[in-house]
Structure 1
Amino acid sequence: MIKALELYLVTDNNGLEAVDFYKDVFDAEVTACTTFGQAIPDTPEENKNLLLNASLNIGGIRMQLSDNGPDYDYVQGTNMTACIQVDSVEEAQAIYQKLAIDAKRIDLELQETPWSPAYGNLVDKFGMSWQINADIPGFVSEKVTF
């Protein structure tokens, strides 16, 4: 079952600063904030403070942020996506498989990540950017797939 359709912002590797900015702008509560260094073993020193994921609660609405990351060029205008939050791996797989039909681009195949048992992102055949995330409370990854 789809739990939420949320706004997801990708920053130009200044995510921690953006979290503070949007926290102030929206009088939001930061409910999660994880850097690459906290989640991924052997992260190079220069990438340890990059934002892997943060969640802000804005009056009951969740907004998420992450840094673009060191391996990708930041392209303004493609830095905002819709994130589909589902409550099971099976639902994530079903939605991902449908959106992937004739997709213009698959940026990350659906897979386990440090924060989700099933996460992927793609640009569908209409050019819309989507993230699919199985949001399972208490999930802890046994492996890092990046």
Structure 2
Amino acid sequence: MKINSYLMFDGNCEAAFKFYEQCLGGKITMMMTHKEAPSAENVPAELHDKIMHACLELEDRFLMGSDCPPGYFEPPQGFYVQVSVSDPDEAERIFCALAENGKVKMAITQTFWSVRFGMLVDQFGTPWMVNCDQVA
């Protein structure tokens, strides 16, 4: 079994996924708007340019997401997307990249369980934990 995160956005999914591709590496393997979907004629025109489904492939995991219909978006709460890497420099790089124009909740530092650990909410409102539990 593998568990992957699916993020919901308030109209900025495309920008978020392009940002995540830059920060995390990997590759966007799908980004479909509502007007590109087979059901496009059943979707209100204001949603046509919004993302119906996006997928960022990261090694053997996927980060997926879409834009919510108007009035359905709720800010994320009660979870963090956790990134785990084995190189402290890579943990620092990812943390700093994701923190750009976001809000740092816990600066990245050494902890009793990790060589590097930090928490932030990115510019799109997605909460992240970056962890490096071993020295490369």
Q: TM-score, normalised by structure 2?
A: 0.50
Unaligned runs of 5+ in 1: 83-146
Shift of 1:37: 1.1
Identity %: 23
Provide the alpha-carbon RMSD of the alignment. Answer: 2.4
Q: Which whole-Å CA distance do the structure 2 matches of 1:59 and 1:9 have between them? A: 18
Q: Provide the residue aligned with 1:108 in structure 2.
A: none
SS of match in other structure, 1:5 = coil
Q: Which secondary structure state, in structure 2, belongs to the residue aligned with residue 16 of structure 1?
A: helix
Q: Which residue of 2 aligns with 1:29?
A: 27
**CA distance, structure 1, for counterparts of residue 6 and residue 19 of structure 2:** 15
CA distance in 1, matches of 2:71, 2:14: 18
Could you give the per-residue CA deviations for residues 70-90 of structure 1, whole angstroms, max 9, x where no partner exists?
Answer: 252x211259799xxxxxxxx
User: Where do 1:27-106 residues align within 5 Å?
Assistant: 27-39=25-37, 40-42=39-41, 43-72=43-72, 74-78=73-77
Q: Give the match's secondary structure for 1:49.
A: coil
Structure 2's unaligned 5+ residue stretches are 82-136
What is the total number of aligned residue pairs between the two structures?
A: 79
Q: Contact conserved, 1:7 with 1:81, CA < 8 A, in 2?
A: no
CA displacement at 1:5 relative to structure 2: 1.2
Query: Residue 20 of structure 1 aligns with which residue?
Result: 18
Q: Partner of 1:85 in structure 2? A: none
Cα deviation per residue 1:93-132 (whole Å; 9 max; x = unaligned)? Answer: xxxxxxxxxxxxxxxxxxxxxxxxxxxxxxxxxxxxxxxx
Compare the two structures and name the one with the higher helix fraction: 2
Q: Which has the larger radius of gyration?
A: 2
